[in-house]
């Protein structure tokens, strides 16, 4: 993945953390101008250390206006494609887990224990069958 005009980035730190934006211009080796009108990110210069590059790319030209960036974003269906990635699913699961109550955490623990018990029993059956054969 290369830093290029139109590359979709995930903002990992600072303002708008957890949102997607598009690289509109490269300022220097460390900073880029990003814009994310579809995700609510205003046009700003950000350090590359705060951003993570995704596999998506929007077909835009250098320094394109916000309305054109939004149009290209919706035509490429970036929001829908992003929601289908494992990265986005992991972030959503982490968010759900962070908001669990004590009782929900307890129920999850018990469900995991039951699942692991079933797996252990089936594995023992397979080992016994393999020993006999």
The answer, as to whether pTM is greater than 0.85, is no
Alpha-carbon distance 20 to 51, whole Å? 9
Report the greatest alpha carbon distance in the chain. 72
Q: Is 24 helix (H, G, I), strand (E, B) or coil?
A: strand
What is the band of 85 on the pLDDT scale with cuts at 50, 70, 90? Answer: very high
CA R_g for the chain: 22
Would you say residue 82 has pLDDT above 90? yes
> What's the distance, Cα to Cα, between the start and end of the chain in Å?
51
Arithmetic mean of pLDDT over the chain: 95
Alpha-carbon distance 127 to 130, whole Å? 5
Model pLDDT for residues 10-37, shown as the tens digit of each residue: 999 999 999 999 999 999 999 999 999 9
Domain 7-78 fold is SH3 type barrels. (2.30.30)
């Amino acid at each position: 993945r290369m830093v290029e005009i139109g590359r979709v980035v995930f903002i990992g730190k600072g303002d708008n953390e957890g949102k997607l934006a598009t690289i509109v211009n490269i300022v220097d080796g460390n900073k880029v101008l990003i814009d994310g009108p579809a995700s609510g990110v205003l046009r700003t210069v950000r350090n590359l250390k705060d951003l993570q590059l995704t596999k998506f790319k929007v077909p835009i030209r250098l320094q394109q206006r916000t309305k054109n960036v939004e149009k290209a974003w919706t035509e490429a269906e970036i929001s829908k494609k992003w929601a289908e990635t494992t990265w986005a699913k992991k972030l959503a699961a982490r968010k759900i887990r962070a908001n669990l109550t004590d009782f929900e955490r307890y129920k999850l623990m018990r469900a995991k224990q039951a699942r692991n018990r079933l797996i252990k029993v089936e594995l023992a059956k397979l080992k016994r069958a393999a020993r006999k054969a």
